[in-house]
C-alpha cells in the first residue's frame, strides 16, 4: 500500500496533497463511516477520496470494507464485507431501522437534490413504537443514539419543533440506503408482526413468553 500511496501522490490530481491528507481521509472513513463533501471539515477528505477512488477501494478492502462513492452528491463511505462491522445494541438497531423505514417512506416526495430528507425525532420514535411495539427510549438515551448516528453520517440534528424541546428536527441522509439494506427492513417488519401477535395474545389472556430476542428479533446487528 505504501508504493500505491507514493504513486498516487505523484499523480497531477494530487498536487498540493501530502501523506497526511490520505491518512486523515482514511481515518475519517473508518471513524465516521459516511462523509459528505458539503459538511463542515469534510471537504478535503472527501475530495481526496473521490480523486483517488482506486487507492481507497483497495485500502478499505484490506480492512474488510467496501468503499461507497456517490459523486453526484459528494458522498463517500464504507460498509463491512462481513460481520466485522461496528456492533450495535438492540435498541440502537431498532432505532436505526425505524430511521431507515421513515427515510424509505419519504422517497421520492420528501427528498431533496442531495438525497436528504427532513424528519423529526417524534416521527422517528413514533415509527419505532409502531413497528417494535416497545416503549420509546428515554430522552437521554435517544440523544446518545442520535449523536452516534450523526457521527456515522446517517442523520443531522437540528432545532426544536413547535417549542417542544423533546421533538427536534432531523435530516435523514443517503448513507442509510447503503448501511441498512432491504433485508434489515424485512427483519424489522417480521419483528413487528411478531410483536403484534404477542399483543393480541396478551389481550386475549393467553400466556406469552418473556420479552427476549428470538429468531424474528433484529437483535444486535452490524453497520
Per-residue pLDDT 10s for the chain (223 aa) are 667 888 888 888 888 999 999 999 999 999 999 999 999 999 999 999 999 999 999 999 999 999 999 999 999 999 988 755 567 888 998 899 999 999 999 888 888 999 999 999 999 999 999 888 888 899 999 999 999 999 999 999 999 998 888 899 999 999 999 988 777 667 666 766 676 666 566 656 554 344 444 434 555 566 7
Task: Give pLDDT, residue 5.
Answer: 86
Whether 104 and 200 map to the same domain: the answer is yes
Is residue 72 a part of any domain in this protein?
Answer: yes
Task: Give pLDDT, residue 221.
Answer: 61
Expressed as residue numbers, the domain containing 56 is 2-80
Is residue 41 a part of any domain in this protein?
Answer: yes
Task: Give pLDDT, residue 193.
Answer: 67
Whether 66 and 128 map to the same domain: the answer is no
Task: Give pLDDT, residue 188.
Answer: 63
- Which residues are CB-neighbours of 80 under 8 A, at least 6 positions away? 64, 65, 66, 86, 222, 223
Check: CB of residue 55 under 8 Å from CB of residue 174: no
Compute the chain's Rg from CA coordinates.
20
Whether 59 and 141 map to the same domain: the answer is no
Whether 143 and 54 map to the same domain: the answer is no
Q: How far apart are CA 175 and CA 155, in angstroms?
A: 9
DSSP letter (8 states) at residue 137: P
pTM of the model: 0.81
Is residue 145 a part of any domain in this protein?
Answer: yes
Whether 37 and 134 map to the same domain: the answer is no
- Please count the structural domains in the chain: 2
DSSP letter (8 states) at residue 173: -
Is residue 110 a part of any domain in this protein?
Answer: yes
Amino acid at each position: 500500500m505504501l508504493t500505491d500511496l507514493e504513486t498516487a501522490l505523484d499523480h497531477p490530481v494530487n498536487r498540493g496533497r501530502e501523506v497526511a491528507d490520505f491518512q486523515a481521509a482514511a481515518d475519517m472513513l473508518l471513524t465516521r463511516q459516511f462523509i459528505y463533501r458539503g459538511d463542515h471539515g469534510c471537504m478535503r477528505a472527501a475530495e481526496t477520496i473521490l480523486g483517488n477512488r482506486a487507492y481507497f477501494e483497495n485500502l478499505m478492502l484490506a480492512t474488510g470494507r467496501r468503499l461507497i462513492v456517490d459523486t453526484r452528491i459528494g458522498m463517500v463511505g464504507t460498509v463491512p464485507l462481513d460481520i466485522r462491522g461496528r456492533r450495535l445494541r438492540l435498541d440502537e438497531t431498532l432505532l436505526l431501522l425505524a430511521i431507515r423505514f421513515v427515510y424509505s417512506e419519504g422517497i421520492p416526495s420528501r427528498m431533496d437534490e442531495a438525497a436528504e430528507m427532513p424528519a423529526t425525532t417524534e416521527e422517528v420514535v413514533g415509527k419505532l413504537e409502531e413497528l417494535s411495539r416497545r416503549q420509546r427510549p428515554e430522552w437521554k438515551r435517544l440523544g446518545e443514539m442520535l449523536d452516534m448516528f450523526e457521527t456515522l453520517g446517517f442523520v443531522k440534528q437540528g432545532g426544536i419543533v413547535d417549542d417542544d424541546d423533546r421533538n427536534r428536527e432531523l435530516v435523514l441522509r443517503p448513507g442509510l440506503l447503503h448501511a441498512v439494506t432491504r433485508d434489515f427492513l424485512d427483519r424489522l417488519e417480521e419483528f413487528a408482526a411478531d410483536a403484534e401477535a404477542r399483543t393480541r395474545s396478551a389481550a386475549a389472556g393467553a400466556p406469552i413468553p418473556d420479552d427476549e430476542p428470538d429468531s424474528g428479533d433484529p437483535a444486535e446487528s452490524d453497520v
